[in-house]
Amino acid sequence: MTREEKRLYLKENGWWALYHEDCWFNSSEDTQHIDSEGKMVGFRPKEEGITLEEAYKKLNQNKDE
């Protein structure tokens, strides 16, 4: 599978990359929301992101279980 195919596969399955293309997060673990003043809060720190390859492997491991 090419890098682009992996990227699309992750996005279709609830993952996102906000900071750059090699910093992925699982949306099910997100705390991001809009507060009562209309400000977005809860961005996950860049340091918590994982590489595209790690995210792809993690997604496939979870699907196998």
Q: What is the pLDDT of residue 65?
A: 63
pTM of the predicted model over 0.75: yes
8 versus 34: the higher-pLDDT residue is: 8
Whole-angstrom Cα distance, residue 17 to residue 11?
8
44 versus 59: the higher-pLDDT residue is: 59
Looking at the structure of the chain, the number of domains it has is 1
pLDDT, average across residues 46-52: 93
9-38, pLDDT tens digit by residue? Answer: 999 999 999 788 899 999 888 777 788 999
Q: Which residue range(s) make up the domain with 45?
A: 3-64
Whole-angstrom Cα distance, residue 65 to residue 63?
6
